[in-house]
């Protein structure tokens, strides 16, 4: 009986050891998922893990500059629409389009009717390291007239002449063209006029270190634009088109990075 009992105990110990030997590798790999770098786990093809990494990335920062403000009124229409107010309203409408967007963050250079020095606006964008700068202005001059909507981008490096402003922004030639093209495509059906993309040598565009564009989607000397401004949906439609242009820009430039 004693021998039989000892044999039984040995058999039980053997079975337990065998069970441990079989289960040990599985337990170890289970623990490794929580203790090692997450990348080896991705090799197993857990696709959602990769998507989570993308979502955790910092949002792309876009600075929107509502031109003028305070005592600097900008252009004025015959019926006294003021450029500074239209610029601010449009900038706020664009920002609102990204309220729930986790991938793109919009900041304005001014939130209210106040004057900001010209180069302070450039400094704000450069210091914040924004990825894109969009300056909102209206056209205006001696009217009545019917000129095209203009989108200003920095003159390409190849077109710079000896006495031109040598620009930081020229390194962004390709991206400047992409944002102009994306805005052109989205704005053409809402502005009611032709659109021109104008390469320029504006000093402040050159001072910016990121891709940048100036949009003049309203002409305060154009009687038809003044009538359109009486409808609340006109600026909303323009804001929607600009927001689509911004999203299209990031899709296009992410691929080519
Ligand atoms: Zn202006």
Render pLDDT for 3-45 as a digit per residue (tens, 0 to 9).
Answer: 555 555 555 544 444 443 333 343 333 333 333 333 333 333 3
Q: How many domains are contained in the chain?
A: 2
* The predicted structure's pLDDT at residue 36: 34
Q: What's the CA-to-centroid distance between 190 and ligand 1, angstroms?
A: 20
Residue 180 shares a structural domain with residue 218 = yes
First to last CA, the chain: 79
- Label residue 71 by pLDDT band (50, 70, 90): very high
Q: Is residue 169 within 8 Å of 126, Cβ to Cβ? A: no
| Domain C-terminal end among 10, 30, 53 | 53
Q: What CATH number does the domain containing 145 carry?
A: 3.40.630.40
Q: Are residues 85 and 153 in the same domain?
A: yes
Q: Supply the range of the domain harboring residue 101.
A: 59-255
User: Are 11 and 137 found together in one domain?
Assistant: no
**8 and 131 in one domain?**
no
195 and 231 both lie in a single domain: yes
pLDDT of 118 above 50: yes
3-state secondary structure of 65: strand
Tokens representing 123? 């400094």
> For residue 75, is pLDDT > 70?
yes
Residue 21 confidence (pLDDT): 39
Residue 169 C-alpha to ligand 1 middle, in angstroms?
A: 20
Spacing, Cα 203 to ligand 1 middle (Å): 14
> The tokens of 38 are what?
């997450």
For the chain, the 3-state helix, strand and coil shares in percent, each to the nearest 5, are: 50, 15, 30
| % of the chain at pLDDT higher than 90 | 63
Q: Can you say how many angstroms the Cα of residue 173 is from the centroid of all Cα atoms in its chain?
A: 17
229, 150 Cβ separation under 8 angstroms: no
Same-domain check for residues 251 and 183? yes
Average pLDDT over residues 140-156: 92
- Would you state the pLDDT for residue 253? 95
What's the gap in Å between 114 CA and the centre of ligand 1? 14
The rounded Å distance from CA 83 to ligand 1 centre is: 7
Same domain assignment for residues 27 and 71: no
26 and 85 together in one domain: no
203-215 pLDDT, tens digit per residue, is 778 899 999 999 9
Closest CA to 111 of 97, 126, 122, 96: 96
The reply to whether 14 and 129 lie within a common domain is no
Ligand 1 center–CA 87 separation, angstroms? 8
pTM of the model: 0.77
Q: Give the whole-number percent of the chain exceeding pLDDT 70.
A: 77
Q: For residue 53, report the distance from its CA to the centre of ligand 1, in Å.
A: 41
Q: State which residues have CB under 5 angstroms from ligand 1, the bound ion.
A: 67, 74, 137
* Residue 99 confidence class, pLDDT cut points 50, 70, 90: very high
Give the sign of the dihedral formed by CA 236, CA 240, CA 243, CA 245: negative
Q: Are residues 26 and 148 in the same domain?
A: no
Q: Does residue 68 share a domain with residue 39?
A: no
For ligand 1, the distance from its centroid to the CA atom of residue 136, given in whole angstroms, is: 8
């Amino acid at each position: 009986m004693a021998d039989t009992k000892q044999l039984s105990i040995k058999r039980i110990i053997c079975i337990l050891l065998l069970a441990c030997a079989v289960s040990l590798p599985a337990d170890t790999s289970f623990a490794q998922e929580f203790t090692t770098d997450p990348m080896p786990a991705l090799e197993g093809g857990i696709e959602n893990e990769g998507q989570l990494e993308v979502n955790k990335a910092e949002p792309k920062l876009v600075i929107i500059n509502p031109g003028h403000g305070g005592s600097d009124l900008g252009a004025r229409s015959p019926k006294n629409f003021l450029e500074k107010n239209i610029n601010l309203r449009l900038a706020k409408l664009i920002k609102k389009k990204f309220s729930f967007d986790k991938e793109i963050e919009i900041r304005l250079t001014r939130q209210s009717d106040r004057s900001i020095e010209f180069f302070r606006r450039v400094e704000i964008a450069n210091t914040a390291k924004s990825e894109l700068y969009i300056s909102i202005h209206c056209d205006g001059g001696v009217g009545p007239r019917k000129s095209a909507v203009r989108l200003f981008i920095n003159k390409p490096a190849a077109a710079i002449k000896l006495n031109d402003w040598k620009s930081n922004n020229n390194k962004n030639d390709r991206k400047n063209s992409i944002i102009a093209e994306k805005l052109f495509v989205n704005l053409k059906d809402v502005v009611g006029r032709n659109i021109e993309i104008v390469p320029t040598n504006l000093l402040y565009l050159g001072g910016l270190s990121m891709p940048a564009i100036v949009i003049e989607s309203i002409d305060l000397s154009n009687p038809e634009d003044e009538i359109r401004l009486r409808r609340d949906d006109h600026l909303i439609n323009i804001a929607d088109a600009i927001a689509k242009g911004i999203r299209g820009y990031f899709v296009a430039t992410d691929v080519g990075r």
